[in-house]
Amino acid sequence: MNETAEILEQGLSSAFWKLFCEHVNTEWGGIGRRFEGAINDLANQHDDDAVLVSKMRQIAVARREILKLISWPQEELKRQTAGGLEYPVDGRAPLVQELVGLNRRGGL
């Protein structure tokens, strides 16, 4: 096991990481306070429907990205221990184009 995998494994088993994930899920998970509050605020607004849909899309994209961040260590540990393909020379994961959050003008 390489050094990065060891660090990830130690971090994932730490009390801090468990507390952090619990906090993120409480705020932004399926019934998270911040997520639920943002959606309820939109429901109470009297803006144009197109504006409300745009705001809702932005909230959904932000939530998805927040939840992706907390899944990164597990995914990276799997990649490290499975002997997955290495990232390009710059060390960053390749970009993946996602359909959600795209419109005629491009990504959000």
Range in 4-8, 27-31, 87-91 the model is least confident about: 87-91
pLDDT of residue 22: 92
* CA angle at 15 for the pair 12 and 16, rounded to the nearest 5°: 80
Q: Supply the pTM of this predicted model.
A: 0.63
* CB-neighbour burial class of residue 39 (10 A; exposed 0-12, middle 13-18, buried 19+): middle
The predicted pLDDT at position 11 comes to 95
Residue partners of 60: CB distance under 8 A and separation at least 6: 100
Q: What pLDDT score does 97 carry?
A: 55
Q: pLDDT for 31-86, tens place per residue?
A: 788 888 888 888 888 888 899 899 989 998 998 999 899 999 999 999 988 875 55
Q: How far apart are CA 65 and CA 101, in angstroms?
A: 11
